[in-house]
Amino acid sequence: MRLESGTSVILRVEMDKQLVTFGELVSAIGQQGGDIVAIDVIQPGRKKEIRDLTVSVAEPSDVETLSLVVSAMKGIHLLNVSDRTFLMHLGGKIQVESKIPIKNRDDLSRVYTPGVANVCLAIRDDVNKAFTLTIRRNTVAVVSDGTAVLGLGDIGPHAAMPVMEGKAMLFKEFAGVDAFPICLNTKDTEEIIAIVKALAPTFGGINLEDISSPRCFEIERRLKEELDIPVFHDDQHGTAVVLLAGLINALKIVGKSMSGIKVVVNGIGAAGIACTRMLLAAGVTEIIGVDKDGAINRDSFYENKAWNEYAAMTNPSNEKGSLAEVIKGADVFIGLSRPKLLFNEDVKRMNPDPIVFAMANPDPEISPEEAGSSVRVYATGRSDYSNQLNNVLVFPGIFRGALDARASTISESMKLAAAKAIASIVTDDELNEEYIIPSVFNDKVVPAVRKAVIQEAINSGIARKIPSDFRNLD
């Protein structure tokens, strides 16, 4: 199931050709489990030569052993070891570029003063023109406070930036949406609401990201109420959409129906609660939520208000106990918590043909090795295993559609339509245990999600503009 190795480093080595051959170096690296994927000659020479070797290894800890072995070789001087992932982050991953060159005074007087003033006045007189005459038409803010970054928890706004820059890249690469990362140095709900509201004139949409629960619910609810542009908490709704898409297809494989399954959701935070709501809307009736203290039930009182509401809408037989206890007889496990919380013996207590969606990032609740052959359909949020259930399949297309239709919000029916659109990309002929969800690189995904979202926005009167490809369609 694993598609590629976990870590890739570049070793810069100086070789004394009289003392060592390149073949000896390659074989020493191979013996340590390193896979050379690229070679660059940096400084050629008859006696000494400097080369960069890009090497993949299974685990980050293998890098140290590999470096020790290589530097101990006679005739080899290990000059530097650089992690390719860190190299990609040098200076950040995105930049702002002008669409028009400024080559002369005439250009200058149009893009800036005095010409720009007339454009400003046109927008002052009709604020809707901001959507045609500024970046607002195509720009989304990716806003985080760094409190629930992937499954890493509260790592703060500075440390959250690489993820938010990454999300901005995904918006651009997959859907042509210009997205800007904004990491806020506050955890205060009211302050976050006020800041995002004040930022709104610049943006056509707000993507909230990695804001921990339960604050994320109030922040999103208020912003949705108070802004007339789409506000979408990706970890809630992007995740719920991709999860439903994956489950629609996984259930076809095992021949079970939404109304007949028992689902255990582990991690009742932003993603866990939104996924549960989506599953209830899709017809699942038996859902048991588990968090740190076990199954969420109606005999307990929770300080987290969201959990009392959760208890009221789930767990029909009011089961109590740990994950290991309530997993018994479950058909589906959905992990939206932390790494390594589910074990092979738990999976063995599930009903036949268990479906396990271990979606914690970067490391899932159960690894494919641990799940082994006990699981019928296995999926994670990662890109290096098959069946990647990640909200990247959702937010680019959802915002592409919402921006193109100038939607005022993203509704439940738009999300449901998006889930069905993603699921339908995998045809019945293609569907199998290792392929329940299209790849992020499948170029049908964004157009299909966009189309479904626009159609739903038009049908429900949320669209404030009919995109040209939707005009005159009967």
Ligand X SMILES: NC(=O)c1ccc[n+]([C@@H]2O[C@H](COP(=O)([O-])OP(=O)(O)OC[C@H]3O[C@@H](n4cnc5c(N)ncnc54)[C@H](O)[C@@H]3O)[C@@H](O)[C@H]2O)c1
- Binding annotation for (S)-malate: 361, 390
CA 428-453-178 angle, 5° bins: 110
| Closer to ligand X by Cβ: residue 138 or 213 | 213
Cβ proximity of 297 and 319 under 8 Å: yes
Binding characters for ligand X, 207-246, by CB under 6 A (x = yes): -----xx---------------------x---x--x----
Other Cβ atoms closer than 10 A to 116: 13
**Torsions phi, psi of 355, nearest 5?**
-105, 125
Which entry of Mg ion, ligand X, ligand LMR, none binds 290, CB below 5 to 8 A by partner kind?
A: ligand X
Q: Is 385 a catalytic residue?
A: no
**Contact call for residue 210 and Mg ion (CB under 5 A):** yes
From 386, 390, 409, 455, residue interacting with ligand X (rule: CB under 6 A): 390
Nearest to residue 145, comparing CAs of 191, 84, 80? Answer: 191
- CA separation for the pair 147, 234 (Å, rounded): 14
**Contact call for residue 62 and ligand X (CB under 6 A):** no
Q: Shortest approach of ligand LMR to residue 74 CB, angstroms? A: 44
Nearest to residue 402, comparing CAs of 392, 411, 389, 390? Answer: 411
Burial of 270 by CB count in 10 Å (0-12 exposed, 13-18 middle, 19+ buried)?
A: buried
| Closer to Mg ion by Cβ: residue 210 or 291 | 210
Which entry of ligand LMR, ligand X, Mg ion, none binds 134, CB below 5 to 8 A by partner kind?
A: none
Binding characters for Mg ion, 212-251, by CB under 5 A (x = yes): -----------------------x----------------
**Contact call for residue 145 and ligand LMR (CB under 6 A):** no
Q: At what angle do helices 270-281 and 412-425 cross, to 10 degrees?
A: 80
**Backbone dihedral region of 150: left (phi > 0), alpha (psi from -120 to 50 degrees) or beta?**
left
Other Cβ atoms closer than 10 A to 77: 14
- CA separation for the pair 247, 95 (Å, rounded): 37
- CA separation for the pair 219, 96 (Å, rounded): 28
Binding characters for ligand LMR, 201-220, by CB under 6 A (x = yes): ---------x----------
- CA separation for the pair 257, 376 (Å, rounded): 16
Which residue is at the shortest CB distance from ligand X?
269
**Contact call for residue 386 and ligand X (CB under 6 A):** no
**Contact call for residue 439 and ligand LMR (CB under 6 A):** no
Which entry of ligand LMR, Mg ion, ligand X, none binds 178, CB below 5 to 8 A by partner kind?
A: none
What residues numbered 69-98 form the site for ligand X, per CB under 6 A? none
Other Cβ atoms closer than 10 A to 265: 27
From 271, 327, 377, 417, residue interacting with ligand X (rule: CB under 6 A): 271
From 161, 250, 326, 389, residue interacting with ligand X (rule: CB under 6 A): 389
**Contact call for residue 346 and Mg ion (CB under 5 A):** no
- CA separation for the pair 163, 182 (Å, rounded): 11
Encoding tokens for residue 34?
Answer: 């390193």
The residue from 112, 305, 340, 444 that is catalytic is 112
**Torsions phi, psi of 378, nearest 5?**
-125, 135
Which entry of ligand X, ligand LMR, Mg ion, none binds 368, CB below 5 to 8 A by partner kind?
A: none
Kindly state the number of chain residues that form the binding site for ligand LMR, as judged by CB under 6 A: 9
Which of 356-395 are b and which e, b meaning 16 or more Cβ less than 10 Å from the residue's Cβ? bbbbbbebbbbbbebbeebbbbbbbbbeebbbbbbbbbbb
**Contact call for residue 391 and ligand LMR (CB under 6 A):** yes
Q: Which stretch binds ligand X (CB under 6 A): 49-57, 84-92, 289-297, 347-355?
A: 289-297
From 151, 230, 354, 401, residue interacting with ligand X (rule: CB under 6 A): 151
- CA separation for the pair 419, 449 (Å, rounded): 8
The residue from 17, 74, 129, 167 that is catalytic is 167
Which residue ranges make up the site for Mg ion (CB under 5 A)? 210, 235
Which residue ranges make up the site for ligand LMR (CB under 6 A)? 150, 163, 210, 234-235, 361, 381, 390-391
Which residue ranges make up the site for ligand X (CB under 6 A)? 148, 150-151, 212-213, 235, 239, 242, 266-272, 290-292, 336-338, 341, 359-361, 381, 389-391
Which of the residues are catalytic? 112, 167
